Structure 1
Amino acid sequence: MSPATTTQYPELAGYGLAGHTESPRDVVAEARLAEEIGLGSLFLSERFNVKDAGVMAGAVAGVTDRLGIATAATNHVTRHPLVTATMATTAHRMSEGRYALGLGRGFDVLFDLMGLPRITGAQMEDAIGIYRRLWRGESVVGHEGPAGSYPYLNQDSSFDERIPVLMMAIGDRSLELAGRVADGVVLHTFLTDEALARMVRVVRGSAERAGRDPASVRIWSVLATVEDSIGEQARLRKLVGRLATYLQGYGQVLVRANGWDEEVFRRFREDPFVTGYGGAFDAVGTTEDLQQLADRLLPEEWLAASATGSAQQCASRIQDQLDAGADSVVLHGATPTELRPVVEAWARQRSADLDALPANPGWMA
């Protein structure tokens, strides 16, 4: 376990097993180190290979004492609601209240291939309502709703579990839904500061219209962080490769969110090098491939929506995110080892007011 005297910075988080991995056990060492260097939380991004959300959350809970844990994200359609509720309750109790369940819309094409229904906002809202009823010890009887038909669901009538729900959001409708029903919101990587500030306004405005305290919704920005000590090949993969992969998958949404030039995006999308590429750039791109993208197709302005340079410069970009309205910042795409100098630099400039944030990444108080 990490030393009990280590200072934690609840406003900061990293990702466990950032990107692709073949060794899920690495999350154990990453979680211990994340707690040791002072990260407040570890976000666990699920993939349908060796990154199961429940298994990773249990591993992290078992080897840490104070680190917040977030599933970021799973999709409600990939598990029966009783199974998801059970996963969350187990992680909640195993971590002694440090766990937050994160949900996202996912990718329509993937769900089509898997034979699952495409996710809608109405489904997500309905599913969250089912989870919360189960966590309160209620029985769900004769449910007919967007999330499905369920004759009878029950966990335990003695339950009164306080488990926050995070939503991953980028489009306005998702942001509005998150402000209305979620306890916290996780935004997207590679957002300009202006886009971030606008999204914060959308979330808080929706919360207020729903009769909620806008300040009660915890908003996480997600900041691609590549400090100077990271080698050139890794830097290209974490910045150029990652942004290009997002543009491959759902670039139109990200480009519109940032107000970027759609003609530049069209040239990227239709370039023969991109259309003929055999996989995701952040997974299989060579140094030469990624450098070609940077030189020809990705504007520096787009790549600048990140934290790069010295550890102090990266720490200053964390403050930019908070100044734009975020409550907390996920330092994306870097391991705890790579983040250590950034966290140390941040510790020298952060406001003590941030100590009031709870360890659980889904709560504001």
Structure 2
Amino acid sequence: MTDDTLDELGYYLLAGAGGEGPATLMDEARRGEQLGFGTAFISERWNVKEASSLVGAACAVTSRMRIATAATNHNTRHPLITASWATTMHRLSGGRFTLGIGRGIGAIYGAFGIPAVTTAQMEDFAQVMRRLWHGELIFNHDGPLGTYPVLFLDPDFDEDIRLAIVAFGPQTLALGGRAFDDVILHTYFTPETLQRCVKTVKDAAEQAGRDPDSVRVWSCFATVGDHLPEELRLKKTVARLATYLQGYGDLMVTTNDWDPAVLQRFREDEVVTSIPGGIDHKATAAQIEHIATLLPDEWLAPAATGSAQQCVERIRKEFDYGADALIMHGATPDELAPIVEEYRRT
């Protein structure tokens, strides 16, 4: 294991839909720590990517690297369950756990009968978590998070656990600056979008009386070197962006000031409409090649692609644009190894 930790770099365990399944997580966690990554992130999907199980496994097989959810949702577990899970992971890992939440997708919540998430709920959640982690007995809580006669963990608790939020729009970004320790952005944000997001977070932190430098803004940056086979590269870039467009294309287009007519043509395309599920998980290689013709180069440009040297040069520009840290997104540690080596070398 390297002693030269790259605290400013992170990656996702079980990137995308989960690769070969959850059992690969342990090897990915060990390998990421060997490479020197500062943080391993875990996203939650309601299949075989249940966050608390994966976090426990990742913490158990690592000793130095931070483990963070990015994200789970506050509205799918009782707040006491979430608070005690975070405290357990905090102590199990020796203080290496970050609890990261996100807003999620309203249409999915509606289909499953789960109430939609609001900004006020997430802010209330952050405040309640910090109170519980510091041993407070909360009586008659009645706020956006819900109504609870009693919320309580342990009077001896005095835990400083990092809170993160995955942010897209201006309200969530500002909330991150006010109440969270880490703000994780979305992939395929243009340089202009990244700069605007960083400013929103830092300004909100300052207005809340916090040190703006105490809130870390993470660029989540697709990192796909040309040492990988072309078919796999297309899946990790074209198919991944196309899947985002399936789920929340209007938000992506509005955020980046892209042409909505392109999104409409994408949605109406016969190949796109024929795919029964997420494109990155269900589409064939031929279908992905066709979808590549529907997406402008500028939409795929905010990514680290090409040789390891070219990837590193583009990654470093994200820091120039204002990011405090960067997630090498969409690839396994072994796939990222040549790029990490080049990053260290230069």
* TM-score for the superposition, normalised by structure 1: 0.93
Q: Is the 8 A contact 2:275 2:282 kept in 1?
A: no
Identify the range of structure 1 (207-216 vs 37-46) with the bigger mean alpha-carbon deviation. Answer: 207-216
- CA deviation string 1:292-334 (max 9, x = no partner): 0112x10011111111001111111110110010000000000
1:307-322 → structure 2 map (5 Å cutoff): 307-322=304-319
* 2:322 paired residue number: 325
Q: Is the 8 A contact 1:230 1:338 kept in 2?
A: yes
* 1:352 paired residue number: none
* 1:208 paired residue number: 206
Structure 1 counterpart of 2:12, from 12, 15, 18: 15
* 1:103 paired residue number: 101
Structure 1 counterpart of 2:112, from 89, 111, 114: 114
How many angstroms does 1:200 deviate by?
A: 0.4
Distance in structure 2 (CA, Å) of the matches to 1:39 and 1:270? 41
Identify the range of structure 1 (282-291 vs 261-270) with the bigger mean alpha-carbon deviation. Answer: 261-270
The 3 A distance-change label for structure 1 pair 12 and 209 is same
User: Which blocks of at least 5 consecutive residues in structure 1 are unaligned?
Assistant: 350-365
* 1:353 paired residue number: none
* 2:239 paired residue number: 241
Task: Give the aligned residue type for 2:188.
Answer: F
- CA deviation string 1:133-187 (max 9, x = no partner): 1000001111111111111111110000000110100111111111111111000
- CA deviation string 1:65-100 (max 9, x = no partner): 111110110000000000000111111111111110
Structure 2 counterpart of 1:334, from 331, 334, 338: 331
How many angstroms does 1:269 deviate by?
A: 2.0
Q: Is the 8 A contact 1:6 1:37 kept in 2?
A: no
Q: Is the 8 A contact 1:61 1:91 kept in 2?
A: yes
How many angstroms does 1:51 deviate by?
A: 1.0
- CA deviation string 1:17-50 (max 9, x = no partner): 0112352121100000001111111000111111
How many angstroms does 1:105 deviate by?
A: 0.3
Q: Is the 8 A contact 1:73 1:103 kept in 2?
A: yes
State the SS of the aligned residue for 2:195: helix
Distance in structure 2 (CA, Å) of the matches to 1:104 and 1:62? 25
1:1-365 → structure 2 map (5 Å cutoff): 3=1, 5-21=2-18, 23-295=21-293, 297-349=294-346
Q: Is the 8 A contact 1:42 1:68 kept in 2?
A: yes
User: Which blocks of at least 5 consecutive residues in structure 2 are unaligned?
Assistant: none
State the identity as a percent: 52
Distance in structure 2 (CA, Å) of the matches to 1:279 and 1:50? 17
Identify the range of structure 1 (96-105 vs 21-30) with the bigger mean alpha-carbon deviation. Answer: 21-30
User: How many residues are aligned here?
Assistant: 345
* 1:358 paired residue number: none
How many angstroms does 1:189 deviate by?
A: 0.3
Identify the range of structure 1 (46-55 vs 328-337) with the bigger mean alpha-carbon deviation. Answer: 46-55
* TM-score for the superposition, normalised by structure 2: 0.97
Q: Which has the higher contact order (CA 8 A, sep 6+)?
A: 1
Distance in structure 1 (CA, Å) of the matches to 2:137 and 2:72? 24
State the SS of the aligned residue for 2:81: helix
Distance in structure 2 (CA, Å) of the matches to 1:64 and 1:7? 16
State the SS of the aligned residue for 1:222: strand
- CA deviation string 1:223-275 (max 9, x = no partner): 00111111112111100000000001101111111111122122212223323
Q: Is the 8 A contact 1:223 1:331 kept in 2?
A: yes
